[in-house]
Amino acid sequence: MIVRKLSTMPRISLTLVPAVLVAAVLAGCANTKEDPTAKWTPDRIYTEAREESSSGAYDKAVPLFEKLEGRAAGTPLAQQAQLDKAYAQYKSGEKVQATATLDRFMKLHPASPALDYALYLKGLVNFNDNLGLFSWFTRQDLSERDQKAAKDSFESFRELVTRFPESKYAEDSRQRMQYIVNSLAQYEAHVARYYYERGAYVAAIARAQSAIKDYQGVPAVRDAMVILVKSYDALGMTQLRDDADRVMKSTFKDDSELKLSGDKTKTWWKLW
């Protein structure tokens, strides 16, 4: 049996430990980048951030606005920094972050005079997002499209015009709400048409009825009515077909011909 003597084990001199620690600390300090804004005033940080944002360098503007939030905490300048940061996040495509920033702003400053702008910007963040435009190029199944963003946008605009009807953002918000409603109705009509063309008439009827019920008074409802009539006819449900046809002709007196709109010169995602 071989016994290892303790005297042969390597020993570390305790006197070297402090020196090693000091060297490690100094190396860490050498690798730490100096904050160029450390001696800047809040006004200078804001000016620099706005210049970066104005030039389109939103990725540089966001961290500057974040620094300003901390440096000028509790002041109107910090509130302005939050809003400008949300805008920069929105313009750089960071929609989730922009929404979170705006939600935080509205929670912290419910009486802010800029609350109408915060609601307007929140509506813009989700506006025209995932309304089905690119599905025509990718041939994606429209029934799989998610309309949550459009509905969230609508709710933000609706809250704005309800709470601040005289806001300078109110009229534009109303027009965007009108666009969203027609787009969502057109989406339902497109899904109904998708099912109709594949012989899924029961599903087509359900989606057409949804468009007619939820989005009254918009142009897309006519397409939904046409699909409803044709689907009832395909299923041999003559009474329901005739009732729907009668309603359609009385509602759209100037254009009672049973056909779907197919004018390729006018795209449905334009304002109407």
76 half-sphere exposure, CB direction, 13 A CA radius: 5
pLDDT at 134: 42
Lookup result for tokens 């009539």: 229
**Region at 56 (left for phi over 0; alpha for psi -120 to 50; beta for the rest):** left
- Domain ranges within the chain, ordered by starting residue: 40-109, 113-272
pLDDT at 146: 59
pLDDT at 208: 95
Residue pair 157/123 in contact (Cβ under 8 Å)? The answer is yes
Tokens of residue 133, six digits: 């435009």
In order along its 272 residues, the chain shows pLDDT tens digits of 444 443 444 454 445 455 544 455 555 554 557 888 888 999 999 999 999 999 999 999 999 999 999 999 989 999 999 999 999 999 999 999 999 999 999 999 999 999 999 999 999 998 865 444 444 444 444 444 557 888 899 999 999 999 999 999 999 999 999 988 888 888 899 999 999 999 999 999 999 999 999 888 888 899 999 999 999 999 999 999 999 999 998 888 765 565 656 544 333 333 33
Q: Is CATH 1.25.40 the right assignment for the domain spanning 40-109?
A: yes
Question: Is 113-272 the same fold as 40-109?
Answer: yes
Query: What's domain 113-272's architecture?
Result: Alpha Horseshoe (1.25)
Q: Which residue intervals of 198-219 are DSSP H helices?
A: 201-214
pLDDT at 36: 82
CB proximity list for 96: less than 8 A, separation 6 or greater: none
Lookup result for tokens 């303790």: 6
Torsion (CA) 194, 188, 98, 167 in degrees, nearest 10: 150
pLDDT at 19: 53
